[in-house]
Structure 1
Amino acid sequence: MHVADPQRHARLPTRRAGRSGLALGVATLGLWQNFGAARPFAEQRELVLRAIDLGITHLDLANNYGPPAGAAEESVGRLLARDLAPYRDELVIATKAGYRAWPGPYGEHGSRKYLLASLDRSLARLGLDHVDVFYSHRYDPKTPLEETLGALTTALDSGRARYVGVSSYSAVRTAQAAELAQSMGLELTLHQPSYSMLNRWVEHPDAAADGRSLLDVAADVGLGVVAFSPLAQGMLTGRYLDGVPPDSRAARGGPLRPEYLSADNLAHVRGLAEVAAGRGQSLAQLAIAWVLRDPRVTSVVLGPRTTAQLEDSLRAISGPPITPDELAAIERHAVDAGVNLWGPRSSEL
């Protein structure tokens, strides 16, 4: 049984999630890529427990995280039963449904049947009677938005979730969802988009949303923003400036595609690394601090592979504010690099 560090809650600032009463630490532990069945459970345990000792209370999951799908939730379920049972009410456990989690026509997308079945499966894997946050993981143009939001309403009303939200919805789809939710008496609390110095789609004006960006819409309707992939799948760690390391995500066939590592993109990464060095920071620390510079961002999701990477990333929280001159230097290199994996499957629909 793990005994958590008694000073943990003093280590991480919190921000309020939109207009809700939910306060989240500015850093969240994401369990997307490093909690599959191929990784020893002891390593997963070490990383999660270290994150909690460092003040992280928010664990971000989805039904398809692993691989295989469900493996990450099973690992967290083991930890909740063994090490974290005394701390359950100190934690925010979030999960999502939208991408493929099992075979057949009801194993993905946004239908009521899929979303609620997925939530029940997630709860069984986690060994919980409720999660704190349940997200629609992506917009589904083939399912009426009323049906998707109705499933989120049922998740709340049945007590299987405490808060609900959406992930990777565009500005206009988020505005539509918020308006419809209000008419249904549903309170959406969070939006989880990808956001980094190389993936700035959340800042772009959307003509269909009256020229507002996703960040604008989230602020207008009172949604907290939990930004994921702040390191652009590892591009903003500097690991790829001299080639692809054999133990990297790119070498393992992960979401970091070889075409992302173009000469142009790497030149911008080098420019950003120079700004970070001038601040006495790692590139990863600068990337995290940059996302958190916007007060509309509630929390940033970190996906470290090791405790050393986690500790390096968290040092961004206590770093100096980014100055106007540094922001100007960053702006020259913080360009969209075509790394939004989720655009064609959600935010561009």
Structure 2
Amino acid sequence: MIEERYVAAEGRYEAEGAVYRRAGRSGIRLPALSLGLWQNFGATTPEDRQRAILRRAFDLGITHFDLANNYGPPYGSAEDGFGRHLARDLGRYRDELVISSKAGYDMWPGPYGDGGSRKYLFASLDQSLRRMGLDHVDVFYHHRPDPETPIEETMGALADIVRSGRARYAAISNYSPIQTDAAAAAIADAGGSLLLHQPRYSMLDRHVEHGLLDTVGRLGLGMVVFSPLAQGLLTDRYLRGVPEGSRATHSRYLSEGDITEAKVAVARELDGIARERGQSLAQLALAWVLRDERVTSAIVGASSVEQLEANVAALAAPPLEQAELDAIDAALART
């Protein structure tokens, strides 16, 4: 049996997900929603499901796919799988894609498989490129600050990685405002620049509003936020308890203890605001993080095509009005 060749939807740039926002003061635009391959694209997820989600994302106008060296499980398997899907389906559209990867957390044993050293960053990216079958990524992040490595070494390595052609842009993730300023200065001294900062941001985690958004805006960086749905707390999944088999029952990033009565009560109140807008709670949460023009894109995960489509539908709603924002703030004040 000859497999039918994938052909992307002709109207993908008029689709619901084809909303693009400029990354800071750069020349590149990213989709308002990006697809993250953190927890749903490892070896434990069937490849046909991965394939269906990736193809549908691109057909909906989502052009940015966010990975890291240790995404899986196990480590490296998300990039391995993505490489197979590129070879089979998306590779012919490579110049229409923005593919990002990261290094900074533990990846392999020994003293050279973690942190921010020049040796680790170059070696990790070379491994990522081999797994994905690419000669470059579009964006390469340092995944977290490394207090044991001089910022000049880390940022110098990122600048040289871009000069080497392994990446088109350099970026950082999980840096504080002070660390972001230091990183921007260090990479400029090395003859490079930063494109993006990727922090965690949601209604339930607003730390970026305490300096980081202002820093990113002042430096002219884009911001791509992860966990906008707070690991599922800002969806309808936990409004009536913890379902069997849900992420809270098996994930190291969300436990049943995180789902407190107070948080559930607030989520129910937010769900009521969402319903008045004709949205789900998840759609409201996505609209909320995108309300600030300094946020370039929000990364969503998807365990099914239906979930992806529901998230993309958030982009069709009208902007949040001030009265709605005030109601959201009042609800969040009770957390």
Matches of 2:140 and 2:189 in 1, distance apart?
Answer: 20
1:310 aligns with 2:290: no
Matches of 2:288 and 2:237 in 1, distance apart?
Answer: 19
Choose the corresponding residue for 2:13, options 9, 12, 15.
9
1:326 aligns with 2:332: no
1:191 aligns with 2:197: yes
Matches of 2:67 and 2:290 in 1, distance apart?
Answer: 21
Q: CA deviation at 1:266?
A: 1.2
Per the alignment, residue 80 of structure 1 pairs with 86
1:67 aligns with 2:83: no
1:146 aligns with 2:144: no
Matches of 2:191 and 2:334 in 1, distance apart?
Answer: 37
Choose the corresponding residue for 2:236, options 211, 235, 238.
238
Matches of 1:218 and 1:335 in 2, distance apart?
Answer: 26
* Root-mean-square deviation (Å): 1.2
Q: CA deviation at 1:247?
A: 2.5
Corresponding residue SS for 2:238: coil
Q: CA deviation at 1:313?
A: 0.6
CA contact (8 A) 1:197 1:336 kept: no
CA contact (8 A) 1:198 1:336 kept: no
Matches of 1:142 and 1:336 in 2, distance apart?
Answer: 39
**Most deviating of 44-53 and 249-258:** 249-258
Per the alignment, residue 35 of structure 2 pairs with 29
Choose the corresponding residue for 2:217, options 216, 219, 225.
219
Q: CA deviation at 1:259?
A: 2.3
CA contact (8 A) 2:140 2:169 kept: yes
Q: CA deviation at 1:70?
A: 0.5
Matches of 2:220 and 2:45 in 1, distance apart?
Answer: 38
Q: How does 1:60-209 map to 2 (within 5 A)?
A: 60-204=66-210
Q: CA deviation at 1:146?
A: 0.5
Matches of 1:18 and 1:54 in 2, distance apart?
Answer: 24
CA contact (8 A) 2:249 2:256 kept: no
CA contact (8 A) 2:266 2:334 kept: no
Per the alignment, residue 295 of structure 1 pairs with 293
Per the alignment, residue 256 of structure 2 pairs with 258
Matches of 1:333 and 1:200 in 2, distance apart?
Answer: 14
CA contact (8 A) 1:27 1:300 kept: yes
**Most deviating of 35-44 and 59-68:** 35-44
Matches of 1:192 and 1:10 in 2, distance apart?
Answer: 27
> What is the TM-score of this pair, normalised by structure 1?
0.92
CA contact (8 A) 1:200 1:335 kept: no
Per the alignment, residue 277 of structure 2 pairs with 279
Corresponding residue SS for 1:178: helix
Structure 1: runs of 5 or more not aligned: 205-212, 338-349
CA contact (8 A) 2:32 2:297 kept: yes
Q: CA deviation at 1:335?
A: 5.3
Deviations 1:182-227 (A, max 9, x none): 22221110001110000101001xxxxxxxx100000100100001
Name segments (4+ residues, structure 1) moved above 6 Å: none
Deviations 1:51-108 (A, max 9, x none): 1111100000000100001100011100111111210110000000011111112111
Amino acid at match of 2:283: Q
Matches of 2:321 and 2:242 in 1, distance apart?
Answer: 32
Matches of 1:72 and 1:300 in 2, distance apart?
Answer: 19
Matches of 1:334 and 1:284 in 2, distance apart?
Answer: 15
Corresponding residue SS for 1:103: coil
Corresponding residue SS for 2:44: coil
Amino acid at match of 2:300: L
Per the alignment, residue 60 of structure 2 pairs with 54
Matches of 2:126 and 2:189 in 1, distance apart?
Answer: 26
Structure 2: runs of 5 or more not aligned: none
CA contact (8 A) 1:76 1:126 kept: yes
Choose the corresponding residue for 2:26, options 20, 28, 45.
20
Amino acid at match of 2:305: T
> Quick one: percent identity of the two aligned structures?
57
Choose the corresponding residue for 1:270, options 268, 271, 279.
268
